[in-house]
Amino acid sequence: MENKYDIVIVGGGTSGCACAYMSAKLGFKTLLVEKNNFLGGLMTGGLVVPVMKSSVSNLNCDYYKKLIETAKKYNAQITYQDGNDGWFNPELLKIVLDDILSTNEIRKNLDILFESNIEQVQHDNRNIKKIIINSNLISLCVESKYFVDATGSGEFSILANCDLICDTNTNQQNSLRFILGNVDINRFCDFILEVDKDRDITNTNRNDINNNESLELHFTTASTWDSTKKWALDYYLKKAVQEKILIESDRSYFQIFSVAKGDNQVAFNCPRINNYKYEPYKSSNELINARKAIYRIFNFTKKYFPGFEGAIITNIASITGVREQNRIKTRYIYTKDDLLNSKKFKTPVLRANYSIDVHSDKKNGSILQKTADYELPIESLMSYNYENLFVIGKILGADFLSHSALRVQKSCMSMGEGVAKFIKENS
């Protein structure tokens, strides 16, 4: 069986869905290949609930607007008090994404293969010709004019023997996110607003709620073992370590948010785990350690946080929270100096201002450095090795530090959309 497309996108996650939407909307015969049985990647399976707030003057945001509009229809989104509208319910988002890619306008040009993995890449010197996909044990040979690697890991590019960017021994830590249900969020907010009086790390919309009962109560709070701030929750985390309910590394990063339309659910952006990029046995063991940590944190919250007494574990992410794994060599490798100097480019695909954000395993090793608006050029998404291969999302061609800013969801979506529009304008 042989299938021919204009654009094939491998990976139906954050960036891949944006690319597939825009590609089909622009009239390209498009195939989206996803190894899970749902779309969204880290946004859904990874339980990465908030889209980080970034520049308002972003380029290529049509898909993001569609996402918000459709999520509203399904009651799967809220807008936070700082104006960030990117708070989604991760389970409902799976249905939202199906809907966005299933409208008549899109579906007439788009095929989706779930539970399908790329197995082989066939190429000549500078062009990818065909790929072999294993779709539920059926082998499919697919031909296309353009290919897009949106796998998050760079699996496609690695199968095609593309060069990788190897510029650092530093790793971003991974996380395995989870959600607790049956939490009395009102009681917890009373507590957190009492203990964190300066509101340095805690946000709730409690005051807005008091004035408008139709609003949903929403909060965020955090603590790390870095000494950049006086963390209000640190006292409780330290005490739990003394009482052997937590271990020291559990203090490295603790961040929780209420879940949009999740009623009594709380999402955790922790525990952090080691990123053993090139050591598969150790990586697998880290997942066992992560689940042990989740169980410790679960017991910690039940004992220390009013409102969590009856909490239950409702979700553990089915996709590991890998912040950075492989970055693929592209025609232009974007650098931290480009970002910090707000360098201008002829063909920018995104404009953003999210900070340099490195999660380290060392105390005080993490970096959060604010930036002005910056642009990313299309050349940082164009494969160095092949004329018809693009790489989008967190595998883009950037150095370690600039990657830590560019990897956020809104930017990944702009990359996907930008590539589809670039192909339209240049083919």
Query: Minimum distance between the CB of residue 34 and ligand FAD, rounded to whole angstroms?
Result: 5
Residue among 112, 189, 398, 408 that touches ligand FAD (CB under 6 A): 408
Subset of residues 169 to 188 that bind ligand FAD, contact rule: CB under 6 A: 175, 177
- Complex with ligand FAD: residue 304 or 403, whichever CB lies closer: 403
- State the binding string over 90-119 for ligand FAD (x if CB under 6 A, else -): ---------------------------xx-
Query: Minimum distance between the CB of residue 312 and ligand FAD, rounded to whole angstroms?
Result: 22
Q: Angle CA(304)–CA(309)–CA(314) in degrees, nearest 5?
A: 110
Whether 353 and 372 have beta carbons less than 8 Å apart is answered as yes
At 341, give phi and psi (nearest 5°): -90, 5
Which span (14-22, 59-67, 163-171, 206-214) binds ligand FAD, by CB under 6 A?
A: 14-22
Q: What CA–CA distance (Å, rounded) separates 225 from 218?
A: 25
Residue 352 binds ligand FAD (CB under 6 A): no
Query: Minimum distance between the CB of residue 326 and ligand FAD, rounded to whole angstroms?
Result: 11
Residue 6 binds ligand FAD (CB under 6 A): no
Query: Minimum distance between the CB of residue 416 and ligand FAD, rounded to whole angstroms?
Result: 7
Query: Minimum distance between the CB of residue 236 and ligand FAD, rounded to whole angstroms?
Result: 22
- Complex with ligand FAD: residue 271 or 377, whichever CB lies closer: 271
- Complex with ligand FAD: residue 114 or 332, whichever CB lies closer: 114
At 272, give phi and psi (nearest 5°): -75, 145
> How many other CB atoms sit within 10 Å of the CB of residue 204?
23
Which span (1-9, 22-30, 33-41, 63-71) binds ligand FAD, by CB under 6 A?
A: 33-41
Residue 148 binds ligand FAD (CB under 6 A): no
Residue 140 binds ligand FAD (CB under 6 A): no
Q: Angle CA(172)–CA(177)–CA(180) in degrees, nearest 5?
A: 155
User: Which of helix, strand or coil describes residue 118?
Assistant: strand
Which span (45-53, 196-204, 217-225, 334-342) binds ligand FAD, by CB under 6 A?
A: 45-53
SS (H, E, C) 214-283: CCCCCEEEEEECCCCCCCCCHHHHHHHHHCCCCCHHHHCEEEEEECCCCCCCEEECCCEECCCCCCHHHH
Q: How many CA atoms lie within 13 A of 331 on its CB side?
A: 12
- Complex with ligand FAD: residue 89 or 175, whichever CB lies closer: 175
Produce one character per residue of 384-416: b if its CB has 16 or more CB atoms within 10 Å, e if not: bbbebbbbbbbbbbbbbbbbbbbbbbbbbbbbb
Query: Minimum distance between the CB of residue 286 and ligand FAD, rounded to whole angstroms?
Result: 13
Whether 251 and 238 have beta carbons less than 8 Å apart is answered as yes
Residue 409 binds ligand FAD (CB under 6 A): yes
- Complex with ligand FAD: residue 31 or 246, whichever CB lies closer: 31
Tokens of 339: 């970002």
> In 248-371, which residue ranges form alpha helices assigned H by DSSP?
280-304, 336-340
Q: Which residue is nearest to ligand FAD (CB)?
A: 13
Residue 142 binds ligand FAD (CB under 6 A): no
- Complex with ligand FAD: residue 336 or 359, whichever CB lies closer: 359
Residue 51 binds ligand FAD (CB under 6 A): yes
- Complex with ligand FAD: residue 301 or 326, whichever CB lies closer: 326
- Complex with ligand FAD: residue 43 or 71, whichever CB lies closer: 43
Tokens of 242: 């003394």
Q: Which of 34, 8, 24 is nearest to 63 (CA)?
A: 24
Whether 408 and 51 have beta carbons less than 8 Å apart is answered as yes
Residue among 171, 223, 269, 275 that touches ligand FAD (CB under 6 A): 269
Give the total residue count for the chain: 427
**Residues forming the site for ligand FAD (CB under 6 A):** 10-16, 33-36, 41-43, 48, 50-52, 117-118, 150-153, 155, 175, 177, 269, 321-323, 393-394, 407-409, 412
